[in-house]
Amino acid sequence: MGPALPLGLAYLAFFVAPLLMLVAVSFYADDKLTVLGFDNWRKFLFDSFHWKVVTDTLLLGLKAVCATVLLGLPLALVWRGASPFWQRVLLFVAVMPLLTSVVVRTFAWIVILGREGVVNQLVLGLGLAAEPLRLLQTELGLVISLTQIEMPLLLLPLLSVMARFDPNLLDASASLGASPWRTLFKVVLPLVAPGLAAGALLVFASATTAFISQSVIGGGRLVYLPSLVWQQAMINANWPFAAVVAIVLLVSVSAVIAVIALAGRIAGGRVHGAAA
C-alpha cells in the first residue's frame, strides 16, 4: 500500500478535510461563523421552496438520464453491428464532445436554441410556427442541451459492455423465432444493464451539478441546487446556509446514485445467475 500513500495524503488534505469543514460550517447560526446552532438546517428543511428545488434538481437529472438512454442505446445497438472501421468512427464521434469543453457545448446550444437560432430559423422557415419558439430559459431546452452534453458519459461504459457480449446470443434468439424487439428486451437489455447503469450514474451525477449549463440555458427563473449554492455562497455571502444546500446536494445525489448502482448490480447478478 506504500506507493498509494502520497495520493492518500493529498486526498486527506485536499478532499476529506474540506468536506469535513463544509459539514462544520453548516452548523453555524450566523454568517460571521461565531455562534453554533441548527438555524440554517431548520431554515432549509422547513421551507417548501427548498424542497421543490431539491426535487426539481433530481428530476432534471432523471430526465437527462432518460433522454440520453433513449438516444444513446439505439446508437450503441447500431455501433455493435457496425464494421470495425465504422466502430472506430462512431466511437470517435461519441468521445469527441467529451473533449470539447462543457462551456463550449453549452454555448453551442445557445446558438441552436436562441431566438434567432438554428431551430427557430427552421421552424419559421418551414412555416411551422408564426412566432419564434421560446426554448432558452425553459426546462425543455435545458434537457435537450444536457442530452448532448452528457451523452458521451453514457456511451463509453455502454459500448464497453456491448463489445463484450456474444453475438451468437442474438442469432440464437432470432433462430428461436423471437422478433428483434423481443430480443432487445429479453436478451440485450439484461446483458448490457450493468454498463447502462454505470453510464446512467455518470450522466445523473454530471447533469445535477452542471451549474453553467443550468444557469446559462435554464436562466434565472429555473432554480436548481447548484445555483442556490452559488447564490448563497458568492452573492449573499451566507456560508453556513450555502454549506447546508451543498450537503443536501451531496446527500441527495449520492442517494440516487447508490440506487442506480444497486439496480445495475442486481440486473448484472441476475444475468450471471441465469447463465450458471
Residues between 60 and 89 with contacts to another protein, criterion CB under 8 A: 70-75, 77-78, 88
Q: Does 173 bind another protein (CB under 8 A)?
A: no
Segment contacting another protein by CB under 8 A, of 40-48, 97-105, 134-142, 262-270? 97-105
Rama region for 249: left / alpha / beta (φ>0; ψ in -120 to 50; rest): alpha
197 neighbors 205 (Cβ within 8 angstroms): no
CA 141 to CA 119: how far, in whole Å? 11
Q: Does 105 bind another protein (CB under 8 A)?
A: yes
Q: Does 222 bind another protein (CB under 8 A)?
A: no
- Residue located via cell numbers 460571521: 32
How many other β-carbons are positioned within 10 Å of the β-carbon of residue 147? Answer: 23
Q: Does 257 bind another protein (CB under 8 A)?
A: yes
- Given the complex with another protein, which of 35 and 70 has the nearer CB atom? 70
Question: Which of 102, 133, 263, 271 is in the footprint of another protein by CB under 8 A?
Answer: 102
Give the nearest distance from C-beta 97 to another protein in angstroms.
6
Question: Which of 41, 44, 109, 241 is in the footprint of another protein by CB under 8 A?
Answer: 109
Give the nearest distance from C-beta 48 to another protein in angstroms.
23
Give the nearest distance from C-beta 170 to another protein in angstroms.
12
Q: Does 3 bind another protein (CB under 8 A)?
A: yes
Q: Does 114 bind another protein (CB under 8 A)?
A: yes
DSSP state letter for 3:
G
Q: Does 6 bind another protein (CB under 8 A)?
A: yes
Segment contacting another protein by CB under 8 A, of 38-46, 109-117, 165-173, 266-274? 109-117
Q: Does 233 bind another protein (CB under 8 A)?
A: yes
Question: Among candidates 141, 137, 97, 276, which has minimal Cα distance to 218?
Answer: 137
**What are the respective helix, strand and coil percentages of the chain, to the nearest 5?**
80, 0, 20
Give the nearest distance from C-beta 233 to another protein in angstroms.
6
CA 13 to CA 135: how far, in whole Å? 44
Q: Does 99 bind another protein (CB under 8 A)?
A: yes
Q: Does 21 bind another protein (CB under 8 A)?
A: yes
Question: Which of 143, 192, 215, 241 is in the footprint of another protein by CB under 8 A?
Answer: 215
Q: How far apart are the first and last CA of the chain?
A: 35
* Residues 6 or more apart whose Cβ sits within 8 Å of residue 199: 68, 72, 153, 154, 155, 156, 157, 158
113 neighbors 136 (Cβ within 8 angstroms): yes
Q: Does 58 bind another protein (CB under 8 A)?
A: no
